[in-house]
A and B are shown apart, each in its own frame.
Chain A
Amino acid sequence: MTRWFLIAGVSGALLVAVRFPRILELLTTPAPGTVLPAIGALALPAAAFAGWYWSRRGHSSTQDVWGRLIASKSFLTGAGVVATLGLAALLAPVLTSYNPNAQPDILGAATLRPSWAHPFGTDFFSRDLLSRVLYGARWSLGIALVAVTLLVVVGTAAGILAGWAGGIVDAVVMRIVDAGIAIPRILLLLVIAALWGNLNFFALATLLGLTGWFGLSRIVRAEVLSLKQRPFLHAARALGISRRRMVTHHLLPNLAAPITVTAALGVGNIVLTEASLSYLGVGAPPPDPGWGNIIRESTSIILSAPWVAFFPGVAIFLTVVGFSLIGDSLRSALNPQAR
């Protein structure tokens, strides 16, 4: 085991170092705050291998959720894709030496084809596309994570409230949800954006989250209504278990599957929505990159320089596929009866 670990770690570090010479540069001429990310990047393959190995240890059986997850090929693929994208976003300063907004030579270096120096090529303003896609991931994935966290919390709370309380509370919450579903989301967001002016990161994430929970709350409410009829909740009540504990220990574990699946699929959905919004002019404030506005800026040169649209497109595609795979495998892993 140790031998395999060393081989994987060293060869991985070498590969990273060769492909991203900037890491070595950062290590030899240290600037504040760059050493640790650089060492992290070098240690990444070793850490990934260790993580993979550790997660398999003691989980050879499919007895628990984690065991079933890591036995599932679709989860490993999805998690690999998502982890790669996430780490790439975090380690962007290490992985590329270009400033994503720098326009080194707007005449000579514009729309260069992908090459060793510019693996993804450059855009119309001569900016390095790899850097823009990497930094763009910070914006796009960041928005998605914040928005999904928000929509999961609000959607779950609203669904449980409506299903558990019933009566008037249920009617009111569900009418709000109906209204939310009835209004076209993009239109609503555009109107808000127009009234608000320029939206910053948190404002946009909050807006996306607050307009995205309606579907989840319906799913959760339906699930709560059917769970409420199940004798095990009657049994819990007869045992004198408090309402709060019934929700946290009996209701939530049974809601975990629909919630996590919706969340995982929701990430892909938010990335796409944010991209369409960017396309309509609401998104990362120029010149900062987001996947959506990179594609928007590529429209005028899509035939002459298709790679400018292609790479962020692939990134969005991979995000959606990665999270869908995770969502799917979670769905089956969270069901204790699936063995």
Chain B
Amino acid sequence: MRRRTFLAAALAGTGAALTGGCAPSGPGVTRDTVRVGMLHSLSGTMAISEVTVRDAVLLAVERVNAAGGVLGRRIEPVVEDGASDEVTFADKARKLLMSDRVAAVFGGWTSASRKAMLPVFEAEDGLLFYPVQYEGMESSPNIVYTGATTNQQIVPALDHLRGQGHTRIHLVGSDYVFPRTANRVISAYAEAHGIEITGTDYTPLGHTEYTTVTAKIARARPDAVFNTLNGDSNVAFFKQLRSSGITADDMPVLSVSVAEEEVGGIGPEILDGHLVAWNYFQTTDTPENRDFVAAFQDEYGPRRVTSDPMQSAYNAVHLWAAAAEAAGGFDTGAVREAAAGLTIDAPEGPVTFDAESQHLAKTARIGRIGGDGAITEVANSGGPITPDPYLAGYDWAAPIRP
């Protein structure tokens, strides 16, 4: 199906869902079609990030359909808006599961939205594919986590900084669950490895006044900064850091929530030389990624970039389709069982579903932002890391385990 007609169909689906509330009724799976939910913030403060993920999911659905669908059925997306509000996420998740009877839901970004949807998916025994790296310490049988957990992003990032000889690290983050949990992990790691934390600064989401924080950093003179700021605050933080006369040569900032999409917004010249930790970059050199980037830009325009969360969401659709094929049906339990040990060749390289933790084994990568805005890999873990959301395999993490 061509882009226009496909998007029109998807939008018509949204419209119907908005007006009727019960509009796509009847069974979620018919002889020719299977309905899936897409639940992202299409409005509000998170829309800037989540719309890109929705685009990637729509592309994946379109490509699976073009290849004959799943078990001979065409995937029919039901698009809902989480509106950057966790209560709305929970309500819409309930609607998708109970009224639309979708076979699976792809959605969520903030940990707050995931935590709000979790009880709904557990109560209704639904299946949620969550595409964003997060703080770990969770493994619901009704969620498939296709982004990184702590030991696939934050721990490798710390290993990298330590390998570079950085022993004094400053922590800057937004004031909510992900940065606070991540910083507990970082502090435990630092304690065990003789790294000094020179200071920890939290700012409210959407904060733009960073001169006090940059003055504190300039005074503390750390070797590096570990940045867990989310959203637009990164723009103000990096600008004011630069106007404080601090460059990546003096002290690199390693960010875990700044990807290709954000680099364009902040301005590559300001970010030149700073580091990021992900599992995927637009420049990752695999045949699958060349195909993914080409298909995405063909669909949405040559100036659009691809990022780790988008790629993880794109993988989620393919993983679900492969698991359903293997299961021979769409029942949550059967799909979950069939997914165990399943490997797909993703743009980031091979990823394998680990049934025990509900996460994917994936390769950790550290990238350096160039003056042209492209992120190039400077280090990777050498192969997929087995997910360990509770950090059970790390002795230093004992004090922070639940």
Please determine whether chains A and B interact with each other in the same assembly. Answer: no
Chain A interface residues (CB < 8 Å from chain B): none
